[in-house]
Amino acid sequence: MSFLFGRSKDKGPGEAVRRLREHLLKLDQPGARRTAQEEAGKQLRLIRNELAPVPGDENNDNIFAIAQEACALDLFPILAICLPKLDFEARKDSTTILNALLRYNVQNAQICVLYLAGRHQSGHRPDTILTLVNAYNDAETSSNSGQILKEAFKYEPLARIALYDPSFWNFFTYVQGGRFDTSSDAFTTFKELLTRHKVLVAEFLATNYDEFFTQYNALLTSDNYITKRQSIKLLGEILLDRANYNIMTAYVDSPDHLKLCMNLLRDKSKNVQEQLLRFLPKFHEDRKDDEQFNDEKAFLLKQIEVLGQPPGFPQQI
């Protein structure tokens, strides 16, 4: 598929990509930023309109030319870096363009996904996915970056880049700090990354079990009510997924995790208690023949009885 990444020689839609790249590279030049912003905005609008879906025209040559040129000129990393330097409408157009290119399919392959994965594997930097992850540090562009990441994480090669990079651990800060809209968007992206590709995530959790749950348990005890409640719900989704069965058994076998569950059941928020109770009983369904688990369950119930059952707690887990 090497022909997909070659330069197009016509002056059609691919020319808009070349002009956009030129203006993006001028955004840091003294005295040229305003003009560069305006011209970049014009080219972004042109490209966005060319990428707009046309019914019955799935093999649009213009889209192919844009995708081909965007890969050949490394538009993805450049545009990701330049998002904070663009105005609001230009950032919206950039998001629409990058998401459309990620979805674009040729010969049963997303050529821009292949390009981004190959660029990362070959060690080229800056990396588009990692630039977008780190953009959660910027409240003004985090929403745009988050929309692109959610689309990117639908593809396992791109999700793998984020999952196995050290910047992944920054999500534990992003989801509970800063502005509410930023932390909320970060959590949605975090959830997409941890639930979309079952086998990939199971492998990651098995390799990084201790560090992951040390940091995740901090979310469960966060002072931020929204973070705590969302984290409990996501924990249930992760642990009850069949692909994560070994992770689930390791988690519930830990006395520290049992103690954490006991403390959460005493949380002053009834909603937090109920969120935990939505998945705790299901552990028993999966491990009803596990003698050790049943002993631990009995111990947990006894401790809850001593502490005082929260309202609505079932008599049988």
Residue 179 lies in a domain: no
Q: Is residue 192 part of a domain?
A: no
Same domain assignment for residues 21 and 166: yes
Look at the chain and report how many structural domains it folds into. Answer: 2
Final residue of a domain: which of 171, 205, 229?
171
Whole-angstrom Cα distance, residue 207 to residue 204? 5
pLDDT at 12 over 50: yes
- Specify if 191 maps to a domain: no
Instruction: Answer whether 266's CB lies under 8 Å from 307's CB.
Output: yes
This prediction has a pTM of: 0.85
Q: What is the Cα gyration radius of the chain?
A: 24
Nearest to 161 by CA among 125, 137, 111: 125
Q: How far apart are alpha carbons 289 and 295 in whole angstroms? A: 11
Q: How confident is the model at residue 10 (pLDDT cuts 50, 70, 90)?
A: very low
Q: Is residue 182 part of a domain?
A: no
Q: For residue 255, what pLDDT is reported?
A: 82
With 80 as the cut, is the pLDDT of residue 55 above it? no
In the predicted model, what is the mean pLDDT of residues 190-216?
Answer: 96
Structural domain harbouring 243? 197-317
Same domain, 314 and 201: yes
The H or E element containing residue 39 is helix 33-51
**Do residue 51 and residue 118 come from a single domain?**
yes
Q: At 5, is the pLDDT very low, low, confident or very high (cuts 50, 70, 90)? A: very low
**154 SS3 class:** coil
Whether the per-residue pLDDT at 68 is higher than 80: the answer is yes
Write down the pLDDT at residue 288: 55
Phi and psi dihedrals of 311, rounded to 5? Answer: -55, 135
pLDDT tens column, 235-249: 999 988 989 989 988
The per-residue pLDDT for 315 is: 43
| Cα 54 from Cα 43, distance rounded (Å) | 20
Say if residues 182 and 139 touch (Cβ distance below 8 Å).
yes
Instruction: Say if residue 234 is in the same domain as residue 312.
Output: yes
Q: Looking at the structure, do residues 129 and 41 belong to the same domain, yes or no?
A: yes
**CA distances, 109 to each of 6, 15, 23, 112, 198 (Å):** 16, 24, 30, 9, 21
Least confident of 94-98, 172-176, 206-210, 312-316: 312-316
Average pLDDT over residues 12-34: 91
Q: What is the CATH number of the domain that holds 262?
A: 1.25.10.10
Residues 26 and 116 occupy one common structural domain: yes
